[in-house]
Each structure stands twice: as structure tokens, then as C-alpha cells.
Chain A
């Protein structure tokens, strides 16, 4: 364990990389870190405070919690009106504000909401509560989808009939394409997330580089990974070469994890999907295939994904696209704080606004 961490956290090496970066004097470069876990690491290690003027890090749409639409939370809360429903969810969805409430507030009112660490745990809850119906709230990208799919397959095999999934799973590549085409965004390079890439491989990024001219680097989440990734990206951008470099070869291969993709594909199929703050992106979401519809909570409970108004003043959308920084939002740190998040970006510690707030660099 120790070596694994310390090797990628060596302060001396970090200083060497920082020194190299600090010598940068060219045009302004905008680097989008696509994923929430990168945003978190960048904040946690104070990496922004180490970069020279001219290298900007902007946070993309890569936190599944942040881009989960308001109506998803509303639907989950609506489900709880059924007295026999138990909601199983990952912890970071608890605080996400719906239109009028959040899961955390509903739990305080006595609703049966259980925090799980893996979708499989929710199957256990279902087996142990035969007189109840367990609904797992499934959000997440390529990393979490295969496990959700496996859970459904297992429920199918074992005929667990008091279990279903309310899915809002999403896929990253289409979102990136749309951002790449958006002239206002002005991203010069992508810092690609290690874990999503481990599943989908790097081929898709090649397409983004060749078709849209945006280079990228795949990087892990340790401080040295990130610093090194940024340095490489700056070099590529400066050379005007549109390539993709995989600096996370210890985990990520070109093909990715084909087995995980196969499992996800067996259970889910592509559908349009609403990204909070961004809007509807064609074929960027996943819905449960008809074959497994007896596990599809949207169908079982006949829930209508209706579009609810986003909170006035909240700039989440602009922030997720990298057009604004959290500090540009008038609500930031005033009416919108982690104790009382207005928008989704402030909810989870990895949301862009929360990360900025918590780790305001000094």
C-alpha cells in the first residue's frame, strides 16, 4: 500500500515538475479536467496554486452527481411516498437538492433510505427485506455502470423480484464531443480521467483529437500524475500536435476493459439524457434494456422524467462547461455553501464549486 501511494506523492519530484511548469510563458492555455475526481485531487493538493498565470484549469462535466438532473432526485423522493419502498443510494447523492427537498431531509423525516458502498449491497438489503421493495439509485459513468449492470444480472439470475434500479447512468464521450464542438468553451486540451479510461480505453480520445483538434492526456489521480499530465499537455499544445498521450499505462490500455463494456452493454442501451446545467445531450445516457425491464424502476413505478426548473441564479451549467469559474457565480459562498447547496456543483466534495469552496487556495 505504502509504495503505491508514496511513489506518486514524492514532494521532491513534485517540486521539479512545478519548477518546469512555472517557466511557461506562452499564450493562455485552457485545460479541462473532465472528471470530478481530478477536480478533487487538484484542489486537495493545491495544484492550482502551483500553476503560473497562463495555464488555466477548468472543470468539466465529469461528476455524475453534479450532472444528475433535478427530476431524478424528485422522482426518487416521489418513490418514497410508497411506504414499502426502501431507497438504496451512494452517499454523495444524499445532499443533492431536488426541487423541494433532498434525500438527506427525507431521511430525517423518517423515510427508509440506506447508504450503500456498492450496488451489490442493495441486493442484500432486498434479500433481507422481502416485504419491502428496494430501489437502487444508479448514477455514474463508465466506471460505475458495469457494476450496476452486474447487479441487475445477479438479481435476474437469483430472481430477486423486490429489487429495481432507477437509472440515470451516463457516458462521457458524447458529452466531450459536444463540448469540443462548442466554440464558447475554448478548451485547448483535455486531462482525461484514469478510471473512466480504464474501462473505455483511449481510442475514443483519438477521435476527439483528430476530428476536433483537441489533444489530451490520460492521467491518474496522484499529485505527480496530475502535474506530469499537465506538463505533457502544455508541451503537446505548444507543439500544436493533436495527439493523445496515455500517462496512466499502469492502469489504462488502448482497448480498455472489454469485459466490463460487454456487461454494461448487455443490460443498458444508449438513450438521450439530460445533464444538469447542460441540457439534453443525444445518446449520452443509458437506459435498461427491455429484456430486463422488470428491474427498471422508471417503468415499474411509471415515473415521468419531467424537466424541472433549475434554481435561479445557479451557474452550474456554465461551470460544468468550463465557461465560468465558481467564483463567478453570485451565489458562491453566499447563499450557496456546502451546508446548504443551491446547485449540484456545491453538493459533493468533488463538485467543482464545493472543491473550490473547501480548498480555497491561499
Chain B
């Protein structure tokens, strides 16, 4: 096999077949995929959750993960956010001619590993190769299906005044690591993406209490954007306490330096969980004992006033609105 991706790999002929066999099937390997049919077939019963997402990140490899791991985690976490047990995943690859095959394999391998960790099967997929410069190395689309157990009703519309807002760990790690990597800013060495599948800890929480109103993973736009969406969907106010929001010192340092706000930075392994006060201890009890949740804490509460708006009680004791982000955060001058 050639050591870079060529247009022949997308031709549908023998080269494509080799790629599928030597890379995709090798790392994704499961009973449904290996049947090699035109579509995956399986039985489902219960309420289905279905989601899709495309991943186009630069750089493709970053500290803490790569585009493949991200593509699996992103979709798994979207399913988990509804309380669903993730079952099956599809993945579509758009490869740029010239991509080293070993890079593709590294990406596919970590997808396989992450899928196994999450207990989801990659059952169908597609590969296209486009000419040099028509794509940026590799784009991945993943769609996922899961089953929502009976008695669970989690949605962005369900927050009610009095609820508490929990975050499962420090904010801004992913966004910050990508920024450093992309801009080659060698400022702090030890910031890495938090990219992780969260379905298992969410499953554990749900085994202890189904009394969860909202869950959502604060990816693009960060905690700020996600909470704004929830405040608007549920027609409630959300109040945050600045002194409770966990931010790694390194992340805070980079943000101070570049004039960015960790609240607006993407996370790929965190969940916002909004629950009635009575469930807080149960939920935190599970989270704090789980690998991906040790820094979990309550960062705010849902209120009757200022409907649709997120307000932060600042370190200085003042209040300010945490608005929806506008475009990307851009580094400032001074």
C-alpha cells in the first residue's frame, strides 16, 4: 500500500478495499461492520436518540487527542447528554490527497480505542478522497444512535428555578490547548485537551438518580454559550458564581495573556448537569469518584429573575451579564 492517500483510495476499486480492510476494519472490528453489507442492520427497542456532527479541526493532532478521538467523543457525549446509552456509530471520512497513511491509521486507531472505551460500535462508514487543497487533511463526520432508558426526560427546556448548575470539571482546557497548538504558542507546556467520552459516568449518575433536568456538553462557545442556550430554551435566568468556576491555572494564565475568557472556550470532555437541589449530593458523589469528574462542582443556580439571561456574580462581588459569544474570540493587542 502507498504511504500517502491518493485519489485511488477513493475510487471504490481495489485500493479502496485495501484501505477499508487494513485500516478501518482492523481498528473498528465488530460483528456488524465485518458483514460488509451496504448498510448496518440491528434491532432497537425503546426511545431512540440520534445525532450527527462533523469535525474539521486544525491541527489534526493535539495534546490530549486527535480529530478521530474527538469525532467519537463528540457524538458519544451528545447522546449521553440526553441520558441515552450510545450503541452505534457511523463515520464518514473526507481525506485530502497526500495525507500520510500512518496519520490516518493513528486517527482510526484512536477512534477504535475510544469507541471501545465508550462501548459504542462503529457499524458503517464511508471514505472519499478529494484533491490536494480541496480539504484540510481530513474531515470526519460521525452520527450516533443510542437508546434512552424509560423514565428519563432530559432536555434543554427542563431547567426550573431553584435547580443547581454542575460542571464536571475545569473549563476551557480543550479550546486553550488547540489555540496554543494552532498558533504554536509555546507558553505553557502542560495544557492538554480534555477530550473524553462521558457516557459511562453519565450512566452511573442515572443509575443513582433519574432526577436530572438538563445535560449538555459545553463544546463550541464554551460554558457561556451553552448556558445562554439553556436559559433561553427553559425561559429561566441562570446565575453563576465566578469564585466557584474551576479553571486550571495554566489555562487562566494563557487567557489573561491573550485576552480571552475561559468561559467561552470549547470543552470536549465536560458536561453541564442541571439538577434539583435535592439531587446535587447524589450527582456530585458519583462524579467526584469518576476519572473524568474529580473536579466536579456546583457553579451556579437557576433563577426566576432575568429570564433568558446568564448573570455572573463576580469575584469583586458585582454582577455582570455573560452574553452569547459573537464569532470567535480574537486575541487582543495590549
Contacts and interface: CB of A to CB of B under 8 A. Distances in A.
Given A91-B331, A117-B331, A141-B334, A361 B326 contact: no
A139 B313 CA distance: 34
B286 to A, nearest CB: 28
A90 B331 contact: yes
Given A1-B249, A1-B253, A361-B319, A46 B332 contact: no
A288 to B, nearest CB: 18
Interface in B293-334: 306, 309, 311-321, 323, 326-327, 329-334
- Chain B binding surface, main DSSP class: loop
Contacts of B315: 9-11, 14, 45, 223
Interface centre among A5, A104, A140 (most CB of B within 10 A): A5
Contact of B320 (A2, A18, A349, A361): A361
A358 interface: yes
Contacts of B134: none
Contact of B316 (A46, A93, A140): A46
B231 to A, nearest CB: 13
B334 A37 contact: yes
Contacts of B318: 45-50, 361
Interface string B271-305: 00000000000000000000000000000000000
Nearest to A193: B334
A46 B314 contact: yes
A95 B321 contact: no
Interface in A88-121: 90-95, 104, 115, 117
Interface residues on A, range: 35 or more
Nearest to A124: B184
A18 B317 CA distance: 8
A277 interface: no
Contacts of A349: 259, 329, 332
Nearest to A64: B333
Contact of B314 (A5, A44, A139, A339): A44
Interface in A324-362: 338-339, 348-350, 357-362
A286 to B, nearest CB: 15
A49 B334 contact: no
Contacts of B306: 362
A45 B334 contact: no
B8 interface: no
Contacts of A65: 333
Contacts of B183: 117
A338 B312 CA distance: 20
B321 A359 contact: yes
Interface of B: 183, 185, 243, 249-250, 252-253, 256, 258-259, 306, 309, 311-321, 323, 326-327, 329-334
15 contacts: A1-B250, A1-B252, A18-B317, A44-B320, A45-B318, A46-B316, A46-B320, A90-B332, A91-B330, A92-B332, A144-B334, A223-B314, A359-B323, A360-B321, A361-B319
